[in-house]
Structure 1
Amino acid sequence: MFLSKIQSRVMPLEEGNERMNQTKGLPLRLLRLLVVFIAVCVMFSIISMYTIKHFGIESVVTTMSSRLQPCYEEPENGLLDKWIRPRSSPIHNMSDKELLWRASFVPRIKKYPFKRVPKIAFMFLTTGPLPLAPLWERFLKGHDRLYSIYIHSLPSYQARFPSSSVFYNRQIPSQVSEWGRMSMCDAERRLLANALLDISNEWFILLSESCIPLYKFSFIYDYIMKSKYSFVGAFDDHGPYGRGRYKSNMAPLVNITEWRKGSQWFEVNRNLATTIVEDTTFYPKFEQYCRPPCYVDEHYFPTMLTINAGNDLANRSITWVDWSRGGAHPATFGRTDINEEFLDRVRSGNQCLYNDRNSSVCFLFARKFAPSALEPLVHLDSKVLGF
């Protein structure tokens, strides 16, 4: 009995000594691990210093950062390049609503922070082929940095221009447009919006497949660039084909005294082009109330621009058209009509205002020319056309 009590006292003492020995051993293990960790850190620091000394810090940082990929890819020459460099192709997947919104962006600072060469945007509104393209190729030759081209055709039409042509790959995403309907104005606004995406485009010329230039490129370029006014026909026609098409539902937004008529073929500067694409006030009214026999392409732009920017308009078009034969469409000219005397008649005998001064040069383009007119036109002496 006495022996068992002694043993019971000795056993707890032995257990206590064992725990004390384990407790003493634990810090020793931690100390060894700490020493190993410090040694590894010192070795890593020495290796890093050696690498930086012999290979340079930039290579080390580049190696480490190359594994981190940014969420976007910055253009080669900086973010500004994204805004000032035109797209190689006008093809995009924006809807009309998105396109018009994007095209309405206007810089608030007028002075450009880069060397800007102003260009003319030639915008062709056509159903399909451009039969007079060879004449335009001849006209544009040698002036690559001063113009751009946009073509709005039927969506189903696929152009077959060679890669060497100025018209190659210049079709924009299009929709079906009908003469006299709002879809025609939609096509014109679509052309303007696409052309506005190129910040270098300063003037915007609406043309058809039947249009021709009447002078050489340098003359037309100077005439347009130096103009203080945009060329939009807008006059108050009191007859049945003017005010007679007005609907009282347009008031009070548009009163009958503000109703204007003009040619579809316009030549506008960048400010007015932006005014056209950003309009959401007049568009719904004209879409709802100006339908045949009210031909909206003859009234929407002339009326809206007269109200919004009347002092910026020359109130005339610089595209010559012959309405002398009467009817709903102007005269068309073919092979037998083309000669030097005909062109002289188109270009001379006119009087107009240019920058508030009298001028005899009133038209720079002309229409309508049939495909058969191409051959005699391209065979005219360069002195006749000027190009």
Structure 2
Amino acid sequence: MFSTPYVLAFALLLSLPLLFLLAPRILPPRHLPISLPDELDDLALFRRASLASLHSSSTFSHLGTTNPQPKIAFLFLTNSDLKFAPLWEKFFKGNENLFNIYIHADPSSKINPPGGVFQDRFISAKKTQRASPTLISATRRLLATALLDDPFNSFFALISQHCIPLHSFRFAYHSLFASTPTESTTHSTRYGRQVKYRSFIEILSKEPGLWERYTARGNDVMLPEIPFERFRVGSQFFILTRRHALLVIRDRRLWRKFKLPCLKTESCYPEEHYFPTLLSMEDEKGCTKFTLTHVNWTGSVGGHPHTYRPAEVSPELVYRLRLSNSTYSYLFARKFLPDCLTPLLDIADTVIFRD
């Protein structure tokens, strides 16, 4: 007969493979840390973008046709192939002087460059993980790159690989640049009244579970910089003005709090809190407090919104997704399965891009 210690040791040895297999399901997920070299690399990029913006102007003149027009910077944040690239190609076609594209693709994922208007638009990227500060870093990296690249980038639209356009480019462009600023977002210069547009970012303060998210890092960790009454939540996808993009990359104070690891990972979604909280605290009147990217949270699973399937794609769906509670139509929508590409292309010219 085997002695008890030998039996226990043998049983433990046999259980090790099973433990490794089940550990990811039993233990809470470990969030991807941001290394010091990555942090310093980002700070150097942010400084370059900030300094460059001091020597250039994001304003534009209507005095002559030779002056460049303001542009929209489309910031694609992805960890998989851009399956809807053919649809976006149709969206961008014919408007080459009015937009720029920047893509942050997780380098740990094998992504096939789509070519076309997306050719050579990939920026220096770092690994990302959902519900972690790495998504904030990636977004700030996109903003800084776009700020540095073209002084005429005036709006910055964050887009995911699961997003689709709901209108033509011209409709989206005119919706943004014809948006009505408030009195607080205009100021006088020696050249006259200069318009400051507002950012389209969702900012909510009374959502269920907000306290649990606020204390995800510990009860008092966010203090004194961010008291609970100033803590906000909103959609991860937004459209920022140039001055707000600069505000984001220049921030150090709030970032020091939001980059801290969470103790309650089930309540940790920093990418949904950092931007609404920062802009609410710094320039609430300069924000619309709503997003122009439609998302359907009905029947959400695991923190993911409803995912549209090919059978759901129809003209009626597009018309329905455009509707919003504001005076603005939604410009984009998510979340769509890659298989939706064909039915979307089938109605692109007759529905999506016919405003």
Shift of 1:109: 7.9
Given residue 41 of structure 2, which amino acid in structure 1 is its aligned partner?
A: S
Q: State how far apart, in whole Å, the 1-side matches of 2:56 and 2:311 are.
A: 53
Gap regions ≥5 residues in structure 2? 1-39, 182-197
Aligned pairs for 1:80-91 (under 5 A) are: none
Contact preservation (8 Å) 2:60, 2:69: no
CA contact (8 A) 2:87 2:348 kept: no
Identity %: 36
Deviations, residues 300-324 of structure 1 (Å, cap 9, x unaligned): 1111110011111110111000001
Q: Which residue of structure 1 lines up, in the alignment, with residue 49 of structure 2?
A: 103
- What residue identity is the alignment partner of 1:192? L
- Offset from partner CA, 1:56-83 (integer Å, 9 cap, x none): xxxxxxxxxxxxxxxxxxxxxxxxxxxx
Could you report, residue by residue, the CA deviation over 1:236-295 in whole angstroms, capped at 9, with x for unpaired residues? 12532x122223221221111101011100100100000001101110111126563221
Residue 353 (structure 2) pairs with residue 386 (structure 1) = yes
2:99 corresponds to which residue?
147
Report the counterpart of residue 22 of structure 2 in structure 1. none
> In the alignment, does 2:110 pair up with 1:161?
no
Count of residue correspondences: 283
**SS at 1:250 equivalent:** coil
Q: Secondary structure at the match of 1:180?
A: coil
Q: 142, 152, 172: which is aligned to 1:220? A: 172
* C-alpha distance in structure 2 between counterparts of 1:254 and 1:371, whole Å: 39
1:243 maps onto 2:243 in alignment: no
Distance 2:41 2:98 in 1: 28
Q: How does 1:327-338 map to 2 (within 5 A)?
A: 327=301, 328-338=303-313
Aligned to 1:172: 123
Aligned runs of 1:1-387 on 2, under 5 Å? 95-105=41-51, 106-107=53-54, 115-156=67-108, 157-162=110-115, 165-197=116-148, 198-227=150-179, 228=181, 229-237=198-206, 239-240=208-209, 242-247=210-215, 248-288=220-260, 292=265, 293-327=267-301, 328-348=303-323, 350-352=324-326, 359=327, 361-380=328-347, 382-386=349-353
Secondary structure of 2:221's aligned partner: helix
For residues 154-203 of structure 1, the C-alpha deviation after alignment (integer angstroms, 9 at most, x for no partner) is 224453334xx000111000000111110110000011111111111100
Q: CA deviation at 1:223?
A: 0.7
The separation in 2 between residues aligned to 1:172 and 1:287, in whole angstroms, is: 22
Partners of 1:323 and 1:381 in 2: CA distance: 25
Larger radius of gyration: 1
Q: Secondary structure at the match of 2:91?
A: helix
CA RMSD of aligned residues (A): 2.0
Contact 2:56-2:151 within 8 A present in 1 as well: no
CA contact under 8 A between 1:236 and 1:243: conserved in structure 2?
no
| TM-score, structure 2 as length reference | 0.75
What is the identity, as a one-letter code, of the residue corresponding to 2:315? E
8 Å Cα contact 1:234-1:262 kept in structure 2? yes
Q: 1:51 is matched with which residue?
A: none
Structure with the bigger percentage of strand? 2
Q: Distance in 1 between matches of 2:290 and 2:262?
A: 22
Q: Aligned partner of 1:220: which letter?
A: A
